[in-house]
Amino acid sequence: MEKRGLLYEGKAKQLFETTEPDVLWVTYKNQATAGNGAKKETIAGKGQLNNQITSLIFEKLKDKGIPSHFIKQLSDTDQAIKKVSMFDLEVVVRNVAAGSFSKRLGVEEGSDLPFPVLEFYLKNDDLNDPLITDEHVLVLGLASADEIRDLKEKTRQINDALINLFRKINIRLVDFKLEFGKTSAGAIVLADEISPDTCRLWDLNTNNRLDKDVFRKDLGDIIPLYQEVLDRLTQL
């Protein structure tokens, strides 16, 4: 398989065509962003850490029977993935009150929620990715009622698997964002990435942040923290 022309470039990744029609080549970038791109910085080593963390996690989820677009890791910064048609949705799972959830609803940050809260967000940078309801999803034609049920079921399954995975390495899975796509056969699969860029990860003993909040809030260097997450995952 060979890499061909650039198809898409986002904040954190580049997607390339390949010599195989149903396979894309993903390159993880060193760019860190916050505030929907309002804050940007190039951080050496970030791309390879997110690529390696995502690859390990997708492999672990595959072992649990959870399908994704991930095929294999090609290098420190590159992956091969199946070409899928992406939903214009972000699915956020909240196990612990933090971030915008705490601000919107006045719930103390760090409070365990009685059950995981699932939220849909419209993927639209111009609108700042607004929170939307199931009815909004239907009205906008983003997914059918059956697809909404499937997305929620898969998200809960992924959440259970990730909670157990991170607990084994002494990390509290506070919340995280997922994206999904449909294969050419119409199957809904996990897509995008799962990394400290897309999750809030707190050390179980100290509550120290191991994720992009450190960059968002100017609390220090994220590279040692992302490396810590990778090192713990590698030990499994």
Identify the pLDDT of residue 87: 98
- Domains of the chain, first to last: 3-82 (3.30.200.20), 85-221 (3.30.470.20)
Radius of gyration of the chain (CA): 17
pLDDT digits (tens, 9 = 90+) for 150-168: 999 999 999 999 999 999 9
- Single pTM value for the model: 0.96
pLDDT digits (tens, 9 = 90+) for 77-133: 999 999 999 999 999 999 999 999 999 999 999 999 999 999 999 999 999 999 999
Mention every residue, 6+ apart, whose C-beta is less than 8 A from residue 186: none
Mean pLDDT for all residues in the chain: 97
Cβ atoms within 10 Å of 224's Cβ, excluding its own: 10
pLDDT digits (tens, 9 = 90+) for 208-232: 999 999 999 999 999 999 999 999 9
Q: In the chain, what percentage of residues exceed pLDDT 90?
A: 97
Residue 166 in contact with residue 172, Cβ under 8 Å? yes
Mention every residue, 6+ apart, whose C-beta is less than 8 A from residue 10: none
